[in-house]
């Protein structure tokens, strides 16, 4: 078995200029290795005071017990506002509460079942698009995840002209968007606009213009009674139960932007790393492929399985969970203090940044046995239940837990099962991926795998 790759780590002490230079390239390699053992780490500068909390009790305090006292960081919000506007991902307080009241019903269990046929169509298309040979699997999974979003949200495949333009613009935005924005370091007055590269501003404007076009068209379809019963229609026709007011077009554009970022970018990252781990563990892959054969009757007959088919893939689900533990798509969550706090005898003033790292909690050496090893069987052990509850945070936790967590799990298990049914995945010698974090945890030079068609009797 191959040990999953990790980023290089900086020395415990480096000059500030060196730390910032590293951070601009990658969030992960700028962290020292001692954080995999630390209970808390502190950075105190004239313009920035932050702590990373690495113990379950402090994580519970921030995310679950007193979440209103630790809202989303305004500094991080400034770096995302260009693309995400006033979306549910960055808002706080009553605005966020109203947005969740409108959005959450679209992702409840019954609605999730309704999206399943669209997920199946995207999974089928993904398996058909792959070709034998060496494949950059991150790009392939990015395409697949974007297809799921467009089919479930707007009832169009990624081949739709506008959908394809959004996808291409988002890929360009990823490449140009800076990791480190000045507003993340130094609090600026609200009237000072965030400083972004020209290409980043252009791609964000292009994405929002295209989403506005799709959203306005759907508003008209709803008005004339021609709208399909998909996620966009459900969200746009759901009134806030307290005010009776629905999202207007501008508000919906903000939400679609975060659905695309969270539902496409994070899913693509998680799927790609899962397939890499599967490719490097051949015996385990054989067991997963045996599970995936439950799809054979539906593929042969050209029919769509019921949502309940997901119950037949427990090992695939555990494999995806293990990949999320090792490579959580969002490596760090940043909150902000609203009053004076004391963590582990350290004083925090108002506005201090509180960092919770799913990356470090998922690999913490005092929490998980063999934390840096691929052990999907750990999810079947009752002794690991407390760890799964307290230190497994790919979807955050508490009131701000990702509303699409169930959607993401269903999508991933289905796509993985469908791909494993048709394809064998093999690692390529000398091309181990190097994890790094930009908007999400990706590989520095992509994840390259060799694909072969799986023999029917395999």
* pLDDT tens digits, 288-310: 999 999 999 999 999 999 999 99
For each of the domains in the chain, give its residue range(s) and CATH number, in order of start: 35-453 (1.10.630.10)
State in Å, rounded, how far the first CA of the chain is from the last one. 21
Residue-level pLDDT at 182: 46
Confidence of residue 187 (pLDDT cuts 50, 70, 90): low
Rounded (to 5) percent helix, strand, coil in the chain: 55, 10, 35
Structure token digits, residue 370: 């063999």
Residue 401 DSSP SS3: coil
pLDDT-above-90 percentage for the chain = 71
What is the DSSP code (8-state) at residue 169? H
Q: What angle do CA 294, 298, 302 make, to 5 degrees?
A: 160
Q: What is the mean pLDDT of the chain?
A: 90
CA dist 34 and 366 (Å) reads: 12
pTM: 0.93
Confidence of residue 136 (pLDDT cuts 50, 70, 90): very high
Residues 98-120 pLDDT 10s: 999 999 999 987 888 999 999 99
CA dist 147 and 370 (Å) reads: 36
Q: Identify which has the larger pLDDT, 25 or 147.
A: 147
Confidence of residue 440 (pLDDT cuts 50, 70, 90): confident
Is the predicted pLDDT of residue 188 greater than 70, yes or no? no
Residues β-bridged to residue 334: 355
Who's near 362: CB < 8 A, 6+ residues apart?
A: 324, 325, 326, 328, 368, 371, 391, 392, 393, 394
Confidence of residue 168 (pLDDT cuts 50, 70, 90): confident
Is the predicted pLDDT of residue 13 greater than 90, yes or no? no
Residue-level pLDDT at 261: 79
Residue 436 DSSP SS3: strand
Residues 333-376 pLDDT 10s: 999 999 999 999 999 999 999 999 999 999 999 999 999 999 99
Tokens 């040979």 -> residue: 133
């Amino acid at each position: 078995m191959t040990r999953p790759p990790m980023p290089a780590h900086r020395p415990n002490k480096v000059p500030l200029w060196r730390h910032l230079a590293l951070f601009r390239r990658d969030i992960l390699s700028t962290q020292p290795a001692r954080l995999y053992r630390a209970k808390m780490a502190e950075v105190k500068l004239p313009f920035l005071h932050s702590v990373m909390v690495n113990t379950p009790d402090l994580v519970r305090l921030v995310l679950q017990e007193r979440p209103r006292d630790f809202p989303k960081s305004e500094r991080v919000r400034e770096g995302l506002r260009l693309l995400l506007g006033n979306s549910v991902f960055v808002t706080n307080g009553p605005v966020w509460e109203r947005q969740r009241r409108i959005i959450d019903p679209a992702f409840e269990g019954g609605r999730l079942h309704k999206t399943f046929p669209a997920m199946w169509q995207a999974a089928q298309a993904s398996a058909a698009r792959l070709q034998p040979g060496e494949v950059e699997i991150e790009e392939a999974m990015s395409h697949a995840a974007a297809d799921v979003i467009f089919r479930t949200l707007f009832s169009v495949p990624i081949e739709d002209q506008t959908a394809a333009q959004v996808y291409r613009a988002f890929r360009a935005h990823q490449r140009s968007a800076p990791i480190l924005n000045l507003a993340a370091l130094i609090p600026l007055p609200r009237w000072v606009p965030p400083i972004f590269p020209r290409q980043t501003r252009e791609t964000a404007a292009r994405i929002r213009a295209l989403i506005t076009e799709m959203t306005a068209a759907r508003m008209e379809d709803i008005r004339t009674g021609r709208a399909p019963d998909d996620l966009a229609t459900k969200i746009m026709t759901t009134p806030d139960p307290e005010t009776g007011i629905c999202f207007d077009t501008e508000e919906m554009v903000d939400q679609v932007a975060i659905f695309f970022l969270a539902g496409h970018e994070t899913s693509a990252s998680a799927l790609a790393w899962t397939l890499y781990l599967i490719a490097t563990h051949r015996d385990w892959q054989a067991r997963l492929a045996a599970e995936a054969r439950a799809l054979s009757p539906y593929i042969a007959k050209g029919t769509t399985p019921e949502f309940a088919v997901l119950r037949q893939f427990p090992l695939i689900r555990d494999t995806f969970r293990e990949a999320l533990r090792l490579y959580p798509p969002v490596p760090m969550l940043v909150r902000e203090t609203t009053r004076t706090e004391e963590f582990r005898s350290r004083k925090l003033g108002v506005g201090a940044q509180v960092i919770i790292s799913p990356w470090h909690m998922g690999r913490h050496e005092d929490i998980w046995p063999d934390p840096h090893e691929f052990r999907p069987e750990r999810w079947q052990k009752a002794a690991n239940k407390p760890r799964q509850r307290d230190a497994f945070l790919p979807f955050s936790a508490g009131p701000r837990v990702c509303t699409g967590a169930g959607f993401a799990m269903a999508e991933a298990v289905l796509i993985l099962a469908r791909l494993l049914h048709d394809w064998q995945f093999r690692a390529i010698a000398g091309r181990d991926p190097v994890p790094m974090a930009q908007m999400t945890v990706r590989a520095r030079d992509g994840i390259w795998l060799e694909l072969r068609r799986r023999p029917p009797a395999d």
